[in-house]
Structure 1
Amino acid sequence: MFGLITVTVGIVLVGYLIVKKYYAPWALLLVGLLMLLAVGLFTNVPLVTGKKVTHSMLLDVVQVVTNLSSSTLAGLGLQIMVISGLADYLDKIGATKSFVKVCSKPLYYIHSPYTLLAISYLVGQFINIFIPSAVGLGVLLMLTVYPLLMAVGVSRVSAAAVIVTASCLDLGPASANSIVTSKLLGISAMEYFLEGQLLIGVIAAAVIAVSHGLLQRYFDKKDLASGRLSEDDFKMRSELMAAGAKDKQPDAPRFYAILPVLPIVFLFIFSKFCYTGVRLELITCMFLCMIITFLVDLLTKRTFKECVANTKSIFQGMGRVFTSTVSLIICALVFAEGLKLSGGITTIIGWAASMQNTAGVVMLIVMCTLLAFASILTGSANAAFFAFNSLLPHAAKAVNWDLIVMACPVQLVSGIGRSMSPIAGVTIAVSSIAELSSFEVVRRTIPVMAIGMITVVLSSLILL
């Protein structure tokens, strides 16, 4: 009973603080520390074991933060920072913009409004494999795809809804959630992408694309007839032009579009799927791509000082993602540690595992519901997944399932949940450019994402 009460109070308290717009990392950390303190005071469960024990309960509470910080920064944290550093460098020299333009060009030959809208989602989801930032991708698509959708007669709320969901499946080896899941499975991020995510992702993306085309058309007609939308809602807004004027990414040669693809190419070539004679770690791959990108930029521009100056964005990107993502990971891990040590999560998992004949399905639904709710509440797929991913091995073992069958759909659902959140960064960014309320946008994303969530769960049960 103590565990269930602690978990309930902890989740409600974190939810309240985040809804009230308290700083999410500190809210997670503070509630996590309070739960650890409660465990130390009212149970005999050790907070720290082994050589790290401080022999003081109060200091053990803080030692948990130290242990989680050191292990995270040396592994996952460094991977995420290096990926972000390369992404910011590619932004700085205009390679990301070139890549999006090249990928978006075929859309100009499609003139059916809602067919174009559905295919635009697929293009955005494909680009997301190479550009794992939901906000960054959303803004770029607003500058390239959004005007095209408006030009063929799609409403601005439908266009915004599609762009918000372009990164909903969180696919690819560069995704932070994918890296975490691959570590749980004991395989490389590329192996997880190809053996777990890819087939489920393709099926889910196809269903989501069709759902967008049908549902957004239905909503546009219904809202236009009811007066919720007017003819002005099918016209371009001046704010988008202003956003385009503020775009800091320079124009770059078209061949720069190959640079964002290089990490995926190298990780595939030097893997069990192609050539195993060379072992290539993710971080090594990212540093290699940085060097190649610098050399390409130098040979193209032939201005050594400017090219060297542009590399500053690598380290600025690493620092930026530490404050925005890595810190959130560490605080979410402390919160998750409090949940686990309280015993409440173990009780919930035990209840789900006790369901005769349907234990595995019930467990999967419980975990997916938990992750979806957490993603919607926090507006972050990372915060939700980092807080609860360590529960997945225990949940899978409790129902005698392969871990990938449990982990893959839960990881994908966390990204889908973010696309249903009105406080997600990508929702707020896209909504503000389109001059819309974020709640108006998620009114359009929620039905499509619900269908996507069901598709992910069912296809995982059938195919994994």
Structure 2
Amino acid sequence: MVMQLIAVAVIIVTVYLLIKKYETRMVLIGAGLLLCILSLSPLDALTAFSERMVSSSLIQAICSSMGFAYVMKYTKCDMHLVHVLSKVMTRLGFFLIPATVVVTYFINIAIPSAAGCAAAVGATLIPLLIAARIHPAIAGGAVLCGTIGSMLSPGMSHNAFVANMANMEVVDLIARHSPYSLMAGGIAAVSLAVVALVKKEFKMASVTGDASSSSAQATPEAVRPNYLYATAPFIPLILLVLPFFETFSTFKLSVPAAMLIGAIYALLITLTNPAQITKEFFKGMGNAYGDVLGIIIAAAVFAAGLKASGLIDAFINFLTHSPEFARWGGTLGPFLMGIITGSGDAAAFAFNETVTPHAAQFGYEIPDMGMAAALSGALGRTMSPLAGAAIVCAGLANINPMEIAKRTAPGMIIGVIAVALFML
């Protein structure tokens, strides 16, 4: 019991340090190592660290996807996609708000980084909305709400993590949770539009040439969209989805293969220097290991500390006898951590590392509980003024991030309740 109380105290300190924006990996590894040492099993932390370092399926999916994302950014194919879609939206008036959420959502599938997608999309669409006399906070919120679209991306780290845990293919896992992820996106789009209506933060004006010029000034590098370039970000996604159609059922590619083909396609259509494309691809892979897998490794060490302390066994025993709490603990926990820290990743990874493997004991399945935690963390991050994507959107809209968070909050709260009720 004493060790479990110490573990609770360490968790509180860990949350505090994360709120204060201390380095996430340092905090999680330090907390996990401390708990293992106090539990007289320091090797557990080191074993968890070394084992998670070589999770082949995680490394393949996450690193190759980030390599492809770097190629898209270098060739500016991502910006061409944004500009092509923004041309279609120029006369939607009030419906620019939900349309921006939807467009950002689907672009985020191809560009799974929330902050990167917000920067790429927001530079064009936020000025477009503001020129349509829509409040800057609503404009920024529309782009921010769309950044939960990465839940449907094969390159999103949580998809690879949960699929590996459940012994599933990534695309099968995405197909399983896509109705709920789309539901969350739909709730976000409708809720933000309702907020704009209630607060009367729109004028329903059609966009004029001023909007085009303002968005062009924001992103001068892609003034003339190239429709062929705009297809590149979706090539890997198309290749991974094809096996779901009976005609192409035998055409099955791994995530790294799809990402590599996508990068080669971008190389061929843009006629970019192959050496530079190669450098960018591997640069993205390296950064993915350090930034994304680094958090997964750190979360594994933290989880090892919680297990060594006996807190996880006690928590699982509690949930086994009171399974109704698993529904809310697995959603509201990552959701609140996402709001507080600006990132739902650490909490979702920690929950999925420790509790989700025992989902069957609570009457749930690993894919459902794992992705419910991940989606809830993303929803929490989307209403946090501390999130990188929120700060990017606020900068582009020239407004305080808190103003954006106030407007995205209703949709995110409704969304996490819906996830808890319908996904679990």
Same fold (TM over 0.5): yes
1:185-230 deviations in Å (ceiling 9; x for gaps) = 2211111111x222112222222211110013323559xxxxxxxx
- Which amino acid in structure 1 is aligned with residue 231 of structure 2? I
Give the drift of 1:432.
Answer: 2.2
TM-score, normalised by the number of residues in structure 1 = 0.82
Give the drift of 1:341.
Answer: 2.6
Aligned residue number for residue 334 of structure 1: 301
Please state if 1:180 is matched with 2:161: yes
Please state if 1:292 is matched with 2:265: yes
Moved more, 437-446 or 207-216: 437-446
1:332-375 deviations in Å (ceiling 9; x for gaps) = 221122122322133223223323xxx2x421111112211222
Residue 348 of structure 2: which of 376, 381, 385 is its match? Answer: 385
User: Which stretches in structure 2 are left out of the alignment for 5+ residues?
Assistant: 203-209
Query: 1: distance between equivalents of 2:214 and 2:84?
Result: 24
Query: 1: distance between equivalents of 2:148 and 2:37?
Result: 36
Aligned residue number for residue 5 of structure 2: 5
1:113-164 deviations in Å (ceiling 9; x for gaps) = 2x22012111111211111110111012221111121122211011112212
Give the drift of 1:60.
Answer: 5.2
**Residue 321 and residue 408 in structure 1: after superposition, are their counterparts in 2 closer, same or farther (change >3 A)?**
closer
- Which amino acid in structure 2 is aligned with residue 155 of structure 1? H
**Residue 391 and residue 263 in structure 1: after superposition, are their counterparts in 2 closer, same or farther (change >3 A)?**
same
Counterpart contact for 1:132–1:175, Cα < 8 Å: yes
Give the drift of 1:429.
Answer: 1.6
Residue 117 of structure 1: which of 73, 94, 97 is its match? Answer: 97
Residue 215 of structure 1: which of 195, 200, 203 is its match? Answer: 195
Aligned residue number for residue 260 of structure 1: 233
- Which amino acid in structure 2 is aligned with residue 142 of structure 1? G
**Residue 454 and residue 270 in structure 1: after superposition, are their counterparts in 2 closer, same or farther (change >3 A)?**
same
Aligned residue number for residue 77 of structure 1: 59
- Which amino acid in structure 2 is aligned with residue 81 of structure 1? C
Counterpart contact for 1:207–1:455, Cα < 8 Å: no
Give the drift of 1:435.
Answer: 2.4
Please state if 1:406 is matched with 2:369: yes
- Which amino acid in structure 2 is aligned with residue 121 of structure 1? V
**Residue 286 and residue 369 in structure 1: after superposition, are their counterparts in 2 closer, same or farther (change >3 A)?**
same
Counterpart contact for 1:102–1:257, Cα < 8 Å: yes
Please state if 1:167 is matched with 2:130: no
User: Which stretches in structure 1 are left out of the alignment for 5+ residues?
Assistant: 41-46, 48-57, 223-234
- Which amino acid in structure 2 is aligned with residue 110 of structure 1? L
Identity percentage of aligned residues? 26
Counterpart contact for 2:19–2:340, Cα < 8 Å: yes
Equivalenced residues, count: 416
- Which amino acid in structure 2 is aligned with residue 167 of structure 1? T
Counterpart contact for 2:344–2:377, Cα < 8 Å: yes
TM-score, normalised by the number of residues in structure 2 = 0.89
Aligned residue number for residue 396 of structure 2: 433
Give the drift of 1:61.
Answer: 4.1
Query: 2: distance between equivalents of 1:420 and 1:7?
Result: 29
**Residue 26 and residue 191 in structure 1: after superposition, are their counterparts in 2 closer, same or farther (change >3 A)?**
same
Please state if 1:131 is matched with 2:111: yes
Please state if 1:66 is matched with 2:50: yes
Aligned residue number for residue 54 of structure 1: none
- Which amino acid in structure 1 is aligned with residue 157 of structure 2? A
Counterpart contact for 1:156–1:434, Cα < 8 Å: yes
Query: 1: distance between equivalents of 2:379 and 2:45?
Result: 34
Secondary structure of 2:248's aligned partner:
coil
Larger Rg: 1
Query: 2: distance between equivalents of 1:83 and 1:411?
Result: 18
Moved more, 378-387 or 125-134: 378-387
Please state if 1:87 is matched with 2:69: yes
Aligned residue number for residue 38 of structure 1: 38
Query: 1: distance between equivalents of 2:357 and 2:277?
Result: 46
Aligned residue number for residue 228 of structure 1: none
Counterpart contact for 1:269–1:275, Cα < 8 Å: yes
Give the drift of 1:416.
Answer: 0.7
Counterpart contact for 2:187–2:415, Cα < 8 Å: yes
Residue 146 of structure 1: which of 123, 126, 130 is its match? Answer: 126
Moved more, 434-443 or 419-428: 434-443
Give the drift of 1:105.
Answer: 2.8
Residue 201 of structure 1: which of 181, 205, 210 is its match? Answer: 181
**Residue 297 and residue 365 in structure 1: after superposition, are their counterparts in 2 closer, same or farther (change >3 A)?**
same
Give the drift of 1:415.
Answer: 0.9
Give the drift of 1:395.
Answer: 4.2
Task: Trace 1:425-464 onto structure 2 (pairs within 5 A).
Answer: 425-461=388-424
Query: 1: distance between equivalents of 2:357 and 2:275?
Result: 48
Give the drift of 1:239.
Answer: 11
Please state if 1:318 is matched with 2:285: yes
Aligned residue number for residue 219 of structure 2: 244
**Residue 35 and residue 220 in structure 1: after superposition, are their counterparts in 2 closer, same or farther (change >3 A)?**
farther
Moved more, 155-164 or 165-174: 165-174
1:161-181 deviations in Å (ceiling 9; x for gaps) = 221221125223221111112
Query: 1: distance between equivalents of 2:231 and 2:214?
Result: 31
When the two chains are superposed, the root-mean-square deviation of aligned CA atoms in Å is: 2.8
